[in-house]
Each structure stands twice: as C-alpha cells, then as structure tokens.
Structure 1
Amino acid sequence: MVALNGSACARLRRKRTCRSFAVSDCAPERSGPTADCCTEAELREEARGGPSDDALLLDRIVLQPAPTRRLRLLCVVSTFAERHALARAAASSWLTQCDGALVLSDRDDESVPATGVPHAGPEGAESWQKSRANWRVLHALVVRGNASYDYVAYGGDDYIVLVDNLRSLLDSAPLRSQHERSAPLFLGRRFTSWRHQHASLSHFNAGGPGVVLNSHALRLLGPRLDEAGGAPPRSPCLAESEGEDVAMALCLQTFGVAPSETRDSLGRERFHPFWPAHHYALRSEHLAADDWYRLASLNLSFGADCCSASSVAFHYVRGEDMTRVFQLVYGCRAGRR
C-alpha cells in the first residue's frame, strides 16, 4: 500500500477523500493508510455528499479476480526531469502492482527512481522521438535481454492503470488465445483517424491512457525503429514530426499490427483519455457536433455509462490526485472484488 506523509494525509482529509484519516495513521515511519482508514460506507457517504465525481465513478469500478494463469507485466512511465514529482507518485502507487516497473526519463534520478534515455528531437510528453528511444530500450530488455515479460504497459507520468483489471483483460479468452498463438497485440483506447492525413490509417490507440504491447508485438517493433534494424528510409517508424500515438500506429501497421478491441461486452470503454471525474460529469450536450472527442470516439457513452466496470486506465491523473485515485480504488476498498 502506498505510504503518505503527514502533510499529504492532511491534504487528503481536507479533500474529504477518507475522512477517518488521522495524521498519526500516516506518519512517515508507518506503512501508510490501510483499508481501516476509509471504509466503504464512508466512501458512499462522501459520494452522496457530492464533493467528488472521482469517487462516484470509481465506486462503480470492480477490481477483477486474479487470473488463474499469471501473465508477467512490465509497467513503464515516460517522463522528463521537470515532471519527476509526477513520476514519483506513479512509482509509489500503481506501479507497485506490476511484476516489473520502469521510469524512463531524460536523466537519471535515484529519488524516483528514473533511468535516463537519450533521444533525438525535442523533449516532451508527446514526442515520437522520445518514445522511439524508450521502445528501443524496452525491446533490448524484454526481447534481447533476460527479462521475461508477456506484456508491456507504456504511458506518460499522468496515466494510471488499475493493474488487476488489466491482468483480467489480458487473460480474457480472445486475447489469451491470440497471445498463446504468438500473435502480436496492440491494446489501448481506439480512436478513429478523423483529422490525420493518412488514408491508410483507420484507427490508432490514444497515447494518453497508455498502450499495451505483448512480447510478440515488441519483438516485431524493435528492429523497425532504426534503419540499421531494417526499416526503409521513408518508414513511418522513422517519422520525425508525428505525435507519438499516431506514429506508433503507423509504424505497427507497416507489419500488419492494428489496435485490438478492448471494450467490454456492453460496448463500454476500458481505457479513458481523461480523469475519472471528467468522464463521469461529461454529457453529450457539452460536446459540439465537430468536437474532436466526439469525432474520434467509437459509440461514445456518457455519465454512469461512460466507463466499463472493469476499466483499466485513466489519463491526466497527476501527483496527489494519483495517490488519491489509487487509494479510492485500492486502499478504500481492499478486499472488495
């Protein structure tokens, strides 16, 4: 369980996330708040009081049972030095649920901990050059190295993964069958290519809530990230100016890998491009007919129907909010399945 210091816990109390928190419960020398800090009844009471649409939505999400066959999952956060505080929040919360975790940055920082990965081009959360460099590292680690992982989840320092639900999705019959047949898998939030001048690209996975590749897709991707590995000079894998999510989809498409279906049986999305409260509060009348989110989405739903009960990931969850969301899902409902 993620540990909070006294000042962080006091801020959480002011937000009424878990009103039974006591600063003494969250002292630095202790392991941090447990399920005793926040009972499910208190969470429902908070939701009725209306201070948090995060809680209203997250209370509808059910942590799925552990799969009978455990797939090994490597979780990766991409960041840069100016945002290491955000990466620390991820490292001390949801990343602890993975079989392996890496924070890749533009410089080493033992306080995160982060590993510096040099790359061409500008620094930024949406830089394909940065992502290319990071995926080369991951290919070397997982495919050419000794690290044994079935899947890699990859995103920025403000995405959060509900790891139990991701494991359940990966163990679902269609995905399990494809993985066992060594088929490459590319998972995330599918968007239509509504504004991009790429006639051949019908869908791509949004980068915000993170993407997930299995080891077979990563094995194919790695060599194509450099001309030396066999990529032709004009390959989309070598693009310099594309956003990372579109560039990734174009690159994978060159060897026949397309985004897979990740919605639940009711057609509700599992990967979400905004934070929980935004999705819960969003209504159709808030979006113009030509709004990018309306145009890009598949069968967009709103309110309580916005998100699957087995949701996997959210975006724009930063710093203290990441700790709060993690506690609402795990700390406040430990043992609830």
Structure 2
Amino acid sequence: MFRNVLCLALGLIVGVQLTELWDYMTLTGEEYESTAIAADTAASLTRPSLADWLFHETRVLCLVLTMPAHHKTKAAKVRSTWGSRCNKLIFMSSEDDDALGAVNLNVSESRDNLYSKVRAGFAYAYEHYVEDYDWFLKADDDTYVIMENLRMFLYPFDPEAAVFFGHRFRTSYPHGYMSGGAGYVLSRDALRRLNLFALNNTKFCPLNTYSEDRQIGYCLLNVGVTAGDSRDEHGRERFLPLHPRHLMPSIQNGTWLTTYSYFTPNMSDCCSETAISFHYTKMHDYDRYEFFLYHLRALGLPEKPTVLPTKLTYEQMEQKLDFWNQQETDQTVPLS
C-alpha cells in the first residue's frame, strides 16, 4: 500500500515537472521575453539597489543650519526631500523641534553668530554620534544635496583620514576653505580633531564673528585636516555654491565665483555629471529637483553602468593627502 502511494506521488511530481518543461520549450519569443522580464523584475525587488547598499556602507550624518522661522518652510522641505536620505538628520537651531529633528544649540539667532552656532553643532555631533557615522555633512537650509552622489564620491576614502571636502575657496591662509552654502563634509577623524584640539583652543580656532565656513576651514587647517579636491576627472566641480540657473550653460567670467574659487573654473562646462550639491534653493526648487532627479525618465537612452570606485589603500590615501597639501599654486586663481 505504502509503495503504491509513493509511486503515485512520484508520478505526479514528474508529470508536473514535464508539463512545465514542455510549456517552457513551446513559449513564443514574446512570451519568453515577458517571462524573463517578470523574473528579472522579481529578482530586482529582492536585491538591494546600489544606493541602498551605499546607505549602509557610507554613513553620513547631516547637520543643517536653520532657524525657528524656517522650521515649517525650508527646513521642512529639506526633511521631506534630500534630508530623508541622510543616515541621520539634525537641524542646528535655537529651538528644539522633535517633529523636525531640530536641536536648540543655545546660540542666539544672528548672522554674526552663525560661526558659533556651527561650532556648537559640530560639538553636539561629536558628543553624541562620532562613532556612529563615517562622515559629517554641514549644509544650509537652502542647500540641496544629492546624497547618492555624495556617498559614491566618499566611498573610496577612509573616514579615519583627516580630510574634508566641498567647493574650495581661496583666502589669506593656505589651502583655502569650503563654501558653507554648497555644503562641506568632514571625515570622522576631522570631526574628532576639530573637537579635541581646535574648539577648545582659541589659538587654533579663534572665537569671532567671521563667516562660519572660512573660520571652520581655518580651525581644521590648524589641526592637520587636509582640504581635499572633490572635482571630477575633468576638473568640474561637484559641490556648487550657486543655483543651476546661475551656472548653466557655462560660468560667466568675472563673477564672484570665478574670483574666489580655489581652482580655475571650467568656463565652458560648469558642473560635473556627478554633482553633489546646489545652493540658493527656493521653496519650489526642492520638489522640482526631486522630480527631475528621482522621477523623470528619458526612455530609450543607453544606460551607463554604475561601477563603484576602488577603495584607496592606506598608502594611496596618504599619497592623496600629500598631493592635496602640496598642490601647485598655478592651479589656483591668483588672490586679489
């Protein structure tokens, strides 16, 4: 009896498999293509995207400079758009707002106090999160950041290297500083050095009312943090301190951007295809960027494969830092 039941079960299994095999072999071209597409779609639904993978591999804490008057406007737009792609989003403010993620840094709202406010923000990030994230981005509430491009750019670099990146401006001290409006990003070690050796030392990091980006750059320089080069392989900038409408189709000579940029701008081709940030974002721009970057598709165009850059070894990272620290002065615009 048991043998008969077993034979019957085996017969049914073999029959089902043969039927499926016959159906597969007799598929028309269109049916086969449709089946293959369905299989690929099912696989893609279970396979994490490169952006998802980088989200966990290159962890970025975002510190966004704002004020209570902007909590429900600009800051809310940041939170609902690019800020939602940060690993951690904190708004540097003078009032707590749990729903937004704003922290009261106990600094009075004033343009003269922006430097003090950013210092307090970096101190807060260090105290609570220095070991939890790899990179620490400072941006304004009218900055728009393409987080996927930021992570892809940062991926090769060791966050334990003393380096920071952004749109580099010239000033009276060597190596310049990074534009606050375009946003700049500190490695974990840069944040550590800033807090352990700079913020508590008025010689390395003076207290004053100068612009926050220039002063933070000065503090970092004094504790051995290298100003990195974030341009692409064609010398085009990735961090942009202006809105695209002021940059495209080309940069106009004689503007304040060409005057202050550390590297001679590419006048005919303003921006990298892997741009990371834009400044002076208006309220309607946030949703506009979201649509064009994350929803609009130009159908029928050949797709470029996305390949991760190679991680730098310790020796390669040291060579990069040495090169950036010794960049030829003729690569820069003369300081007027």
Range into which the TM-score falls when normalised by the shorter chain = 0.5 to 0.7
Q: Distance in 2 between matches of 1:292 and 1:125?
A: 22
Over the matched positions of the two proteins, sequence identity in percent amounts to: 29
Q: Distance in 2 between matches of 1:283 and 1:218?
A: 33
Task: Determine which of 103, 116, 140 is the counterpart of 1:129.
Answer: 116
Q: Which shows bigger deviation, 274-283 or 253-262?
A: 274-283
- Paired amino acid for 2:265: L
- Paired amino acid for 2:114: S
What does residue 39 of structure 1 align with?
Answer: none
Verify: 1:154 aligned to 2:138, yes or no.
yes
Alpha-carbon deviation of 1:318? 2.6
Task: Tell me, yes or no, if the aligned pair for 1:209 and 1:272 is still in contact at 8 Å.
Answer: yes
- Paired amino acid for 1:169: F
CA gap 1:296/1:206 in 2 versus in 1, 3 angstroms? same
Cα deviations by residue, 1:38-92 (Å, 9 ceiling, x for unpaired): xxxxxxxxxxxxxxxxxxxxxxxxxx95467811111221100122210100000
CA gap 1:249/1:139 in 2 versus in 1, 3 angstroms? same
Unaligned runs of 5+ in 1: 1-63
Task: Tell me, yes or no, if the aligned pair for 1:280 and 1:302 is still in contact at 8 Å.
Answer: no
Task: Tell me, yes or no, if the aligned pair for 1:142 and 1:215 is still in contact at 8 Å.
Answer: no
Task: Determine which of 188, 193, 204 is the counterpart of 1:215.
Answer: 188
Task: Tell me, yes or no, if the aligned pair for 1:78 and 1:154 is still in contact at 8 Å.
Answer: yes
2:116 aligned counterpart, secondary structure = helix
Task: Determine which of 282, 304, 307 is the counterpart of 1:318.
Answer: 282
Task: Determine which of 135, 145, 168 is the counterpart of 1:190.
Answer: 168
Alpha-carbon deviation of 1:283? 4.1
- Paired amino acid for 1:95: G
CA gap 1:283/1:73 in 2 versus in 1, 3 angstroms? closer
Cα deviations by residue, 1:109-134 (Å, 9 ceiling, x for unpaired): 24534222112x65239721111111
What does residue 93 of structure 1 align with?
Answer: 81
How many residues are aligned here? 249
Verify: 1:82 aligned to 2:69, yes or no.
yes
Task: Determine which of 286, 291, 311 is the counterpart of 1:327.
Answer: 291
Q: Which has the larger radius of gyration?
A: 2
Q: Distance in 2 between matches of 1:294 and 1:329?
A: 27
Q: Distance in 2 between matches of 1:240 and 1:334?
A: 50
Alpha-carbon deviation of 1:311? 0.7
Q: Distance in 2 between matches of 1:294 and 1:82?
A: 33
Task: Determine which of 264, 267, 270 is the counterpart of 2:235.
Answer: 267
Task: Tell me, yes or no, if the aligned pair for 1:283 and 1:302 is still in contact at 8 Å.
Answer: yes
Alpha-carbon deviation of 1:299? 2.2
CA gap 1:283/1:226 in 2 versus in 1, 3 angstroms? closer
Task: Tell me, yes or no, if the aligned pair for 1:190 and 1:203 is still in contact at 8 Å.
Answer: yes
1:238 aligned counterpart, secondary structure = coil
- Paired amino acid for 2:232: D
Q: Distance in 1 between matches of 2:297 and 2:88?
A: 24
Verify: 1:138 aligned to 2:107, yes or no.
no
Task: Tell me, yes or no, if the aligned pair for 1:279 and 1:302 is still in contact at 8 Å.
Answer: no
